[in-house]
A and B are shown apart, each in its own frame.
Chain A
Amino acid sequence: MASTGQRIALPGRAAVWLGWAFVERQTNLWKRYWAWELVWLVYGVVNTLAITFIAKQVDQAGLAGGQSVSSLVLFLLLGTLVWAYLSAVLDDVSLVVTWERWEGTIEHTLMAPVPRWVHLMGMAVFGVLHAVVRTLLIFAIALPFFSVELGQANWLAAALVIAVGSVSVAGLGILAGVLPLIYPERGTQMSFMLQALILLVSGVYYSVDVLPAWLRIFSVVSPATYILNGIRGAIIDGKGPADLAGNLLTLALFGAVLVPGGIAVFGMAERWAKKTGQLKRQG
């Protein structure tokens, strides 16, 4: 056995190494639950096709007006893809506690000498990688069904929006993950409801301009709004990083507030859960 006093401080590389343990673990779980992954992939593809076909219907019914149907198709296609990406990140991060409760490992994972921020960041990194793979697959499968013009797209700017935006979404996921921590029986349902609200107010399938004024307030405080604006600007309008500076800056600010804020709130919730005995397994 080792002597005491070792393995306590975890700066720099050690933190990355510890965080990567969660990425590996989630990858192993992903492989073991491959059938569910297939279900979500099929669901994502079907959802993307079903919603994007609405644009064709609008065209056939002569409702497109002066708008090019191709840009409407691309608008909806990007909305569904971005939402597939964002919801995958939100799911993976916000289920940080739920996974452990389902499997019954919550006590063993939370008593490991891993700083909580490292644990949460590991889950966020997995969430982003997982979401990238799933969304690219949906995109690759759905794209041949539609004739869309992508020649003007600025892929670098789009990647930048996703990269900066993912940080803020991870922060939101961490905040949503607090709910299952403090409400073991209903917290997961609450975090799905939060996700639904983000879907409603962020302009996934329509411009936020169509929302009632009181709902539009929520769209201003949803990072997803700026991610969708940025992605659509980069791919439909061919805007570059400089043109999207406003969006990028807003997203960076969201990330700078939501990630440390989420980690701090998670820490407070964990302390409360320890005080009240909520860290037990369930299910």
Chain B
Amino acid sequence: MNEQPLVVSGVSKYFGGGFSARRLLPWKGRDGAGRREPVQVLRDVSFDVRRREIYGVIGANGSGKSTLIRILSTLLLPDAGQVRAFGLDVVQDAGAVRALINRVSADPSFFRNMSALENLLFFGRVYGLSPGDIRRKLPDILARLGFEFEKAREPMSHLSRGQQQKIAVARSFLTAPVLMLLDEPTTGLDPRSKRDVQAFIRRVQLEHDATIVLTTHDMAEAEELCDRIAFIAGGRIVAEGTPLALRQRVADGRPVEGIDMEDVFMELTGRSIQEDEVPAEVMASG
């Protein structure tokens, strides 16, 4: 496949809005209006990702990162714009796109009472892998993540948060996706687990034909892993470039080595990553 792994063009997404009969109830309605105003979560987002690139999307909680990843994952439909993965439209050709992608989210999301192995067998099989293939590939993937294979026989609920996240990473890479969507994959991990996961991601990018989109609010992680970075704030991409190019943009005569990515984010977005939070009710809808 020669097409570009990912081309995002003018994507916008709204949540909420429209008519709500419940708001007409006497104890709910305000100003007698049944309509709610929609909240725009993504605003005309455009970027493209090159083959074998790790492309970082950095923004605060509620900035639209996860909404963007859900659209790329075929789990949300954009209200405007288009996303093409390897030339396939993620809305029109969703089935074919799904066979090419996989995703790691901040929440590991497993069947808690099934063992890690049973979970991996299921999620591998729904990607068309045979149980034999899965059992053959798993020991190596788990070893690279610093996860003892024997522990995979234990129920997920017995594993620590870091161990669960390693299984989530293993689940995604097991299916050999050519486009990997990593949505805050190291959030909440202890430093060692974080290092294991980051090292695994780097190794996969070096050794295999995989393109990775990584969302994070961890500047150091983005800088260490990403070839290019986009800053997202208020649902809009406000800056994009290599870590060095972004630094140079704000250097203003200063040596770039002395500028950390947090400062770059603040200068380019006008606020710190902690300040750029969106109210919880908006996040809940997106």
- Which of A1, A14, A105 lies in contact with B209, CB distance below 8 A? A1
Are A21 and B122 CB-contacts (below 8 A) given A110-B75, A277-B286?
Answer: yes
User: Which residues of chain B come closer than 8 Å to A147, judged between CB atoms?
Assistant: none
A196 interface residue per 8 A CB criterion: no
- Distance (Å) between the CB of A29 and the closest chain B CB? 6
Are A2 and B122 CB-contacts (below 8 A) given A7-B128, A105-B110?
Answer: no
A71 to B286, CA, bound (A): 58
Q: Total contacts A to B, CB within 8 angstroms?
A: 113
**Chain A residues in the interface with B (C-beta under 8 A):** 1-8, 10, 14, 17-18, 21-22, 24-25, 28-29, 32-33, 103-105, 107-115, 271, 274-277, 279, 281
Interchain CB contact under 8 A, B126 and A2: no
Interchain CB contact under 8 A, A112 and B114: no
User: Which residues of chain A come closer than 8 Å to B75, judged between CB atoms?
Assistant: 107, 110-111, 274, 279
Interchain CB contact under 8 A, A112 and B127: yes
Interface centre among B70, B98, B111, B118 (most CB of A within 10 A): B111
* Interface bin, chain B: 35 or more
- Which of A2, A24, A271, A276 lies in contact with B176, CB distance below 8 A? A2
- Which of B99, B105, B114 lies in contact with A113, CB distance below 8 A? B99
User: Which residues of chain B come closer than 8 Å to A10, judged between CB atoms?
Assistant: 128
Find the B residue at minimum CB distance from A1.
B208
Chain B 71-114 per-residue mask, 1 if CB under 8 angstroms from chain A, else 0: 00111110000000010000000011011110101010111111
B178 interface residue per 8 A CB criterion: yes
Interchain CB contact under 8 A, B73 and A111: yes
User: Which residues of chain A come closer than 8 Å to B15, judged between CB atoms?
Assistant: 276-277
Interchain CB contact under 8 A, A108 and B113: no
What are 26 inter-chain pairs, A to B, with CB distance below 8 A? A2-B178, A4-B100, A6-B99, A7-B99, A8-B96, A17-B125, A21-B122, A22-B126, A24-B121, A25-B111, A25-B114, A25-B122, A32-B113, A32-B114, A33-B113, A103-B112, A107-B70, A107-B109, A108-B109, A111-B103, A113-B95, A113-B128, A274-B76, A274-B77, A277-B286, A279-B75
